[in-house]
Amino acid sequence: MSAAQREDERQPPVEPNFEPLTPLNFLERARRVHADRIAVQDGEVSFTYARWYERAKRLGQFLLDQGVQRGDRVGVLAWNGEMSLLSHYAVPMIGAQLVQMNVRLSPDEIIYIVGHSSMRLLLSSPDLALSGSLDEACRQVIIDADLDAAVAATEPLADPVRVSDELSAISINYTSGTTGRPKGVVYHHRGAYLNALAMALDHGLDSSSTYLWTLPMFHCNGWCFPWATIAVGARNIAIPKVDPAVVWQLLSEGEVTHLCGAPTVLNMLAESPDARPLDQKVRLLTAGAAPTPTIIGRMESLGFEVDHVYGLTETYGPFTVNVESPQVTPDQRLLQRSRQGDANLTAGHVDVWDPEGRPVPADGATLGEIVMRGNVVMTEYLHDTEATEKAFRDGWFHSGDLGVKYPNGQVELRDRLKDLVISGGENISTVEVERALASHPDVLEAAVVARRDDHWGEVPVAFVSLREGSKATGDDLIEHCREHLARFKCPRDVIFQELPKSSTGKILKTQLRNVANATPTSSS
Amino acid sequence: MSAAQREDERQPPVEPNFEPLTPLNFLERARRVHADRIAVQDGEVSFTYARWYERAKRLGQFLLDQGVQRGDRVGVLAWNGEMSLLSHYAVPMIGAQLVQMNVRLSPDEIIYIVGHSSMRLLLSSPDLALSGSLDEACRQVIIDADLDAAVAATEPLADPVRVSDELSAISINYTSGTTGRPKGVVYHHRGAYLNALAMALDHGLDSSSTYLWTLPMFHCNGWCFPWATIAVGARNIAIPKVDPAVVWQLLSEGEVTHLCGAPTVLNMLAESPDARPLDQKVRLLTAGAAPTPTIIGRMESLGFEVDHVYGLTETYGPFTVNVESPQVTPDQRLLQRSRQGDANLTAGHVDVWDPEGRPVPADGATLGEIVMRGNVVMTEYLHDTEATEKAFRDGWFHSGDLGVKYPNGQVELRDRLKDLVISGGENISTVEVERALASHPDVLEAAVVARRDDHWGEVPVAFVSLREGSKATGDDLIEHCREHLARFKCPRDVIFQELPKSSTGKILKTQLRNVANATPTSSS
Tens digit of each residue's pLDDT (9 = 90 or more) over B390-408: 999 999 999 999 999 999 9
What is the rounded radius of gyration, in angstroms, for the C-alpha atoms of chain A? Answer: 23
Query: What pLDDT score was predicted for residue B416?
Result: 84
d(CA A173, nearest CA chain B) in Å? 16
Do A242-250+262-417 and A20-199 fall under one CATH topology?
yes
Between strands B45-48 and B38-42, the pairing is antiparallel
Between CA A221 and CA A316 the distance in angstroms is 8
CATH annotation of A20-199: 3.40.50.12780
Helix count and strand count (H, E) for chain B:
17, 24
Give contacts of A342 with chain B, Cβ < 8 Å: 29, 32-33
Segments making up each domain of chain A, as ranges: 20-199, 242-250+262-417, 420-518
Inter-chain contact A36–B326, Cβ cutoff 8 Å?
yes
Q: Which of A11, A14, A17 to mutate to test the interface with B (most CBs of B within 10 A)?
A: A17
**Topology adopted by domain B242-417:** Rossmann fold (3.40.50)
Mean pLDDT by 10 residues, chain B (524 residues): 42 88 98 97 97 98 97 97 98 98 88 95 93 76 96 96 96 81 95 98 97 96 98 98 96 97 92 95 91 93 96 97 92 91 97 96 96 98 97 96 95 89 86 92 94 90 93 95 90 94 80 89 52
Between CA B99 and CA B205 the distance in angstroms is 26
Between CA B322 and CA A232 the distance in angstroms is 14
Beta carbons of A33 and A48 less than 8 angstroms apart? no
B23 touches chain A (CB under 8 A): no
Minimal Cα distance from B203: which residue of A? A206
Beta carbons of A74 and A87 less than 8 angstroms apart? yes
Residues 6+ apart with CB under 8 A from B29: A342, A343, A345
Inter-chain contact B377–A16, Cβ cutoff 8 Å?
yes
Query: What pLDDT score was predicted for residue A177?
Result: 65
The DSSP symbol for B443 reads E
Between CA B445 and CA B435 the distance in angstroms is 10
Residue B524 burial (CB count, 10 A):
12
Give contacts of A408 with chain B, Cβ < 8 Å: 32, 35
Residue A385 burial (CB count, 10 A):
9
d(CA A317, nearest CA chain B) in Å? 14
Q: Which of residues 221-280 of A touch B (CB under 8 A)?
A: 231-233
Minimal Cα distance from B14: which residue of A? A395
Inter-chain contact B18–A375, Cβ cutoff 8 Å?
yes
Beta carbons of A507 and A289 less than 8 angstroms apart? yes
User: DSSP alpha helices (H): ranges in B285-416?
Assistant: 293-301, 330-337, 385-391
Beta carbon pairs, A and B, within 8 Å:
122
Q: Which of residues 408-427 of B touch A (CB under 8 A)?
A: 408-409
Inter-chain contact B16–A323, Cβ cutoff 8 Å?
no
Dihedral class, residue A91 (left if φ above 0, else alpha if ψ from -120 to 50, else beta): alpha
d(CA A392, nearest CA chain B) in Å? 6
B19-197 maps to CATH 3.40.50.12780: yes
Reading chain A (524 residues) residue by residue, the pLDDT tens digits are 343 344 444 566 789 999 999 999 999 999 999 999 999 999 999 999 999 999 999 999 999 999 999 999 999 999 999 999 999 999 999 999 999 999 988 888 899 999 999 999 999 999 998 876 676 779 999 999 999 999 999 999 998 999 999 999 999 999 876 657 899 999 999 999 999 999 999 999 999 999 999 999 999 999 999 999 999 999 999 999 999 999 999 999 999 999 999 998 999 999 999 999 999 999 999 998 889 999 999 999 999 999 999 999 999 999 999 999 888 998 899 989 999 999 999 999 999 999 999 999 999 999 999 999 999 999 999 999 999 999 999 999 999 999 999 999 999 999 888 898 988 888 888 988 999 999 999 999 999 999 998 888 899 999 999 998 999 999 999 999 999 888 889 999 999 999 998 766 788 998 999 999 998 765 44
Query: What pLDDT score was predicted for residue A131?
Result: 77
Comparing CB atoms, the residue among A33, A377, A395 nearest residue B342 is: A33
Q: Which of B11, B15, B17 to mutate to test the interface with A (most CBs of A within 10 A)?
A: B17
Give contacts of A21 with chain B, Cβ < 8 Å: 375
B50 touches chain A (CB under 8 A): no
Give contacts of A37 with chain B, Cβ < 8 Å: 326
Inter-chain contact A18–B342, Cβ cutoff 8 Å?
no
Give contacts of A191 with chain B, Cβ < 8 Å: 17
Beta carbons of B268 and B242 less than 8 angstroms apart? yes
Identity at A178, one-letter amino acid code: T
Between CA A134 and CA A130 the distance in angstroms is 7
Inter-chain contact A201–B197, Cβ cutoff 8 Å?
yes
Superfamily of domain B420-518: ANL, C-terminal domain (3.30.300.30)
Give contacts of A377 with chain B, Cβ < 8 Å: 16-17
| Backbone φ, ψ for residue B227 (5° rounding) | -95, -40
Comparing CB atoms, the residue among A19, A341, A395 nearest residue B15 is: A395
B206 touches chain A (CB under 8 A): yes
A106 touches chain B (CB under 8 A): no
Between CA B324 and CA B160 the distance in angstroms is 42
Give contacts of B323 with chain A, Cβ < 8 Å: 33-34, 207, 233
Give contacts of A36 with chain B, Cβ < 8 Å: 325-327
Q: For residue A77, what is the enclosing H or E element?
A: strand A73-77
Q: Which of residues 367-406 of B touch A (CB under 8 A)?
A: 372-375, 377-379, 391-392, 395-397
Comparing CB atoms, the residue among B16, B21, B375 nearest residue A18 is: B375
CA distances from A420 to A314, A425, B273 (A): 21, 12, 69
**Topology adopted by domain A242-250+262-417:** Rossmann fold (3.40.50)
